[in-house]
Amino acid sequence: MQKKIFLFLLLPLIAQLAKADDIQFKASAPAQVIVGKPFQLTYTVNQRSRDLRAPEMQGFDILAGPYTSQSSSTSWINGQRTSSYTQTYTYTLIAQKEGSYTIPPAGVTVSGEQYTSNGLKIKVLPADEPSAENEQPAAVGERQQQASSAANSASDNIFIRTVISKARVHEQECILLQYKLYFAGVDVTQFTNNTKLPEFKGFLKQELEQGEIQTQLEHYNGRNYNTAVLYQTLLYPQHSGDIKIDPAQFEAVLRVQTRSQVRSIFDDFFGSYTNVTRTITAPAQTIHVEALPKGKPASFSGGVGHFSLKSNITQTDVTQNEAVTLKIDISGSGNLKLLKTPAVDFPEGVEEYDPKVNNNFKTTTSGMSGTKSIEYLFIPRAAGTYTIPPVNFSYFDTQTGTYKTLSTPEYTLNVKRAAGSEENPVVSNYVNKEDIRQLGSDIRYINTDINTVAPRKSRLAYGSLLFWLCYLIPLLIAIILFVIFRHQIQENADLRRVRYKKANKVVQKRLKLAKQLMNDGKQSEFYEEIERAAWSYLSDRLSIPTSELNKENISQLLRQKGVDDDTVNQVNDVLATAGFARYAPSTSNDMQQLYDKTVQAFERVFSAI
């Protein structure tokens, strides 16, 4: 009974709270205004209200208001009646001087309760500077000539700027490029699809989602313009020097007024209009790209930006043959997509698997940011104490202009012997990370049962042919094995020959995987695998670690090995195409052409070296 009374008393409060959640009191005004030009500030509430308490509006003069208006509507949908009500308070304001101002929240009373609106931030732009040019009267001509003349006049009031965030950067440092439209005194109705963008040679490109085009005011060169960003992308320079971005072209449809030969006061209101298509060119830009400074750390793999590193391990006290996961997170902003997975130097006796990489990136006008998570799964196959050394990650910090090296902690792994396992297991050498095998005991006891001893007549007679064969055959086998093993040792001692064999095996495996990715239509994975195959193959064929290879020294090293210029250019073309196509749309024909070109390039390098 008490619960029912409590609920009965609580129902009005719940209804009042629900009603309060439905009441919306909002303030709205332009984000940018111009000194001396009136604009409107409106407050809207979706319930009947009274006693509007406007805040103090510093920096603005009130020309009129508040004017109050109401609107309501009712509709029936699927037999259900819905209605809405809006009450609006409107002020007409004018800015006194340029600057950034804040209008505090206003208050209003609804059903005896007080409600507060949101505050506003308004940027006041300076007024247009007076033009030194005198306007000339338009020539009288035919209708189409008038439209063309009006369009040409309008072209002085509409243009596109190529806006870049930085003009001097380092290699792989992010640049934001925007094509920004400026127009004043003209009516832009639409843009056509005949947009011609440059190829952005020398850059990796990451386009930004455009969404709906928004306009805002901007004061530029002494005049206020309506502006809109038509296209924006992130660029990552791939080499040092001055890189030119070619001009871009956009087509816009302008609505211009045609004037009759005989003027009247009604022409400005009832004059005829026509649409004129104009081509607007965005100017070229040149980016000065500085090479990364010398003294790169050994663990540097091309990271440019600002990053942080953290790691954790699932457990340090485990049982033999129990899986353990080491997770490393590289977070920050920069060329995250180009970061290579750090290598972990696991101790002998630990079986490791290919790391699992999870990328969580976000691309904005500030650049690319997010986290690259790498999980290393490994299994200790023998009992004992293992030390997992720190993992180093080096990058070039664009904020300080220096190299920085981050390290994970050192982890100690205590592995207990599993129940039923041998006390002294023998573990195979783990240099190549092959499967670890545990050998069983192979000692047999001496047979002491004389009844099982073979009779004398079955034994070999001394000096017989079978007797000598039993000695000669094992000796001959031993000599053959000695020659074979000696030949293998000599081959393994030739590190260059070993790397050559490894290069052919690895590249065949990677090309087979790339072909499968191409058939499955996985474009990004295909180009990534082609690029990995090229770097790995060149590293092994040139007998140089991958970390010391770059696009600048590949040509020099190949020519030192006697490779002709056509083959060198073809190899560079494969690397450039694979790196660029990972972030650009492509077709199955493009993938097939790149695959064939890669195979041909590898064959020519193999024949030359």
What is the tens place of the pLDDT at every residue in 516-530? 888 888 888 888 888
Count, residues in the chain: 609
The larger pLDDT score, comparing residue 472 to residue 288, is at 288
Check whether residue 583 and residue 526 sit in a common domain: yes
247 in a domain, yes or no? yes
- What pLDDT, on a 0 to 100 scale, did the predictor assign at position 408? 93
Q: Which of 60-64, 225-229, 534-538, 544-548 has the lowest mean pLDDT?
A: 544-548
Check whether residue 150 and residue 284 sit in a common domain: yes
130 in a domain, yes or no? no
**Is the pLDDT at 146 greater than 50, yes or no?**
no
330 in a domain, yes or no? yes
Check whether residue 259 and residue 153 sit in a common domain: yes
CATH code at 502? 1.20.120
CB 161 within 8 A of CB 141: no
- What pLDDT, on a 0 to 100 scale, did the predictor assign at position 34? 87
Q: Which of 101-115, 186-200, 230-244, 489-503 has the lowest mean pLDDT?
A: 489-503
CATH code at 26? 2.60.40.10
Cα–Cα distance for residue pair 168/237, rounded to 1 Å: 11
CB atoms within 10 A of CB 65: 15
Check whether residue 165 and residue 269 sit in a common domain: yes
Q: Which of 136-140, 290-294, 454-458, 515-519 has the lowest mean pLDDT?
A: 136-140
The larger pLDDT score, comparing residue 79 to residue 121, is at 121
Cα–Cα distance for residue pair 587/564, rounded to 1 Å: 31
In sequence order, the 6+-apart residues with CB closer than 8 A to the CB of 95 are 33, 34, 35, 36, 37, 39, 59, 60, 101, 122, 124
Check whether residue 158 and residue 285 sit in a common domain: yes
Q: Is the bond preceding 66 in cis, omega lying within 30 degrees of 0? A: yes
CB 602 within 8 A of CB 537: yes
Q: Among 524, 547, 525, which Cα is nearest to 535's?
A: 547
Q: Which of 5-19, 248-262, 350-364, 552-566 has the lowest mean pLDDT?
A: 5-19
Cα–Cα distance for residue pair 582/385, rounded to 1 Å: 43
In sequence order, the 6+-apart residues with CB closer than 8 A to the CB of 168 are 287, 288, 290
Cα–Cα distance for residue pair 30/185, rounded to 1 Å: 19
451 in a domain, yes or no? no
To which H or E segment does residue 355 belong?
none
Check whether residue 157 and residue 283 sit in a common domain: yes
Q: Which of 39-48, 296-305, 555-564 has the lowest mean pLDDT?
A: 555-564
Q: Among 591, 606, 609, 608, which Cα is nearest to 508's?
A: 606
136 in a domain, yes or no? no
Q: How far is CA 196 from the centre of its chain?
A: 24
Check whether residue 276 and residue 379 sit in a common domain: no
CB 215 within 8 A of CB 187: no
CATH code at 395? 2.60.40.740
- What pLDDT, on a 0 to 100 scale, did the predictor assign at position 265? 53
In sequence order, the 6+-apart residues with CB closer than 8 A to the CB of 19 are 111
Cα–Cα distance for residue pair 101/599, rounded to 1 Å: 64
* Per-residue model confidence as pLDDT tens digits over 383-421: 899 999 999 999 999 888 899 999 999 999 999 988 766
Strand, coil or helix: 376? strand
What φ, ψ does residue 145 adopt, rounded to 5°? -65, -35
Q: Which of 375, 390, 416 is the last residue of a domain?
A: 416
CB 90 within 8 A of CB 67: yes
Percent of the chain with pLDDT over 70: 77
Q: Among 417, 171, 455, 181, which Cα is nearest to 292's?
A: 171
Q: Which of 102-111, 147-156, 175-184 has the lowest mean pLDDT?
A: 147-156
Q: Apex CA 200: angle with CA 195 and CA 201, to 5°?
A: 140
Q: Apex CA 410: angle with CA 381 and CA 349, to 5°?
A: 15
The CA radius of gyration of the chain, in Å to the nearest whole number, is 39
Cα–Cα distance for residue pair 134/122, rounded to 1 Å: 33
- What pLDDT, on a 0 to 100 scale, did the predictor assign at position 116? 85
442 in a domain, yes or no? no
CB 261 within 8 A of CB 272: no
- What pLDDT, on a 0 to 100 scale, did the predictor assign at position 122? 87
**Residue 85: beta bridge partners?**
72
Strand, coil or helix: 420? coil
CB 154 within 8 A of CB 256: yes
Confidence of residue 547 (pLDDT cuts 50, 70, 90): low
* Most confident option among 446-460, 508-522, 585-599: 508-522
Cα–Cα distance for residue pair 403/300, rounded to 1 Å: 9
Amino acid at 608: A
**Is the pLDDT at 443 greater than 60, yes or no?**
no
* Per-residue model confidence as pLDDT tens digits over 263-316: 555 555 555 678 888 889 999 999 999 999 998 998 898 899 999 999 999 999
Check whether residue 20 and residue 118 sit in a common domain: yes
Beta strands per DSSP E along 15-97 = 25-28, 32-34, 39-45, 50-53, 60-77, 80-95
Q: Which of 262, 290, 318 is the last residue of a domain?
A: 290
Check whether residue 286 and residue 147 sit in a common domain: yes
320 in a domain, yes or no? yes
Overall number of domains in the chain: 4
Check whether residue 147 and residue 115 sit in a common domain: no
- What pLDDT, on a 0 to 100 scale, did the predictor assign at position 267? 54
424 in a domain, yes or no? no
- What pLDDT, on a 0 to 100 scale, did the predictor assign at position 135? 43
Check whether residue 277 and residue 317 sit in a common domain: no
**Is the pLDDT at 134 greater than 70, yes or no?**
no
**Is the pLDDT at 540 greater than 50, yes or no?**
yes
- For the four alpha carbons of 453, 456, 457 and 463, in that order, the dihedral sign comes to positive
- What pLDDT, on a 0 to 100 scale, did the predictor assign at position 263? 53
DSSP assignment, residue 546? G
Q: Which of 64, 93, 125 is the last residue of a domain?
A: 125
Check whether residue 46 and residue 150 sit in a common domain: no
Q: Which domain holds residue 519?
A: 495-608
Model pTM above 0.85: no
* Per-residue model confidence as pLDDT tens digits over 196-208: 999 999 998 888 8
